[in-house]
Amino acid sequence: MKHLLTMADLTKKEIKEVFSLAKKLKKENKKNVVHKLLAGKSLGMIFAKSSTRTRVSFETGIYQLGGQGIFLSSNDIQLGRGESINDTAKVLSRYLDGIMIRTFAHTDVEELAEHGSIPIINGLTDSYHPCQALTDLFTIYEYKGQLSNLKMVYIGDGNNVAHSLLLATTKIGMDISIATPNDYRPDLEILHVAERWARESGSQVEVVTDPLQAAQGADILYTDVWASMGDEMEKEEREEAFKDYQVNAEVMNVAQDDAIFLHCLPAHRGEEVTADVIDGEQSVVFEQAENRMHVQKAIMVKLMK
**DSSP strand pairing (260-263 vs 220-223):** parallel
DSSP bridge pairs for 152? 176, 220
* Cα–Cα dist 203/196, whole Å: 10
Cβ–Cβ contacts within 10 Å for residue 280, how many? 13
Whether 131 sits among the annotated catalytic residues: the reply is no
- Does 79 contact ligand NVA by CB under 6 A? no
- Does 228 contact ligand NVA by CB under 6 A? yes
CA distances from 274 to 34, 52, 116, 177 (A): 40, 22, 44, 20
- 13 exposed, middle or buried (CB, 10 Å; 0-12, 13-18, 19+)? exposed
Binder among 265, 268, 282, 302 for ligand CP (CB under 6 A):
265
Active-site annotation holder among 3, 53, 131, 132: 132
C-beta of 61: minimal distance to ligand CP in Å? Answer: 13
Q: How far apart are the first and last CA of the chain?
A: 12
Binder among 59, 108, 136, 224 for ligand NVA (CB under 6 A):
224
- Does 3 contact ligand CP by CB under 6 A? no
What is the per-residue binding string for ligand CP in 111-150, x denoting contact by CB under 6 A? -------------x-------x------------------
Active-site annotation holder among 97, 157, 219, 224: 224
DSSP bridge pairs for 71? 45
Whether 129 sits among the annotated catalytic residues: the reply is yes
- Does 164 contact ligand CP by CB under 6 A? no
- Does 54 contact ligand CP by CB under 6 A? yes
Where in the sequence numbering do the catalytic residues fall? Answer: 102, 129, 132, 224, 264, 292
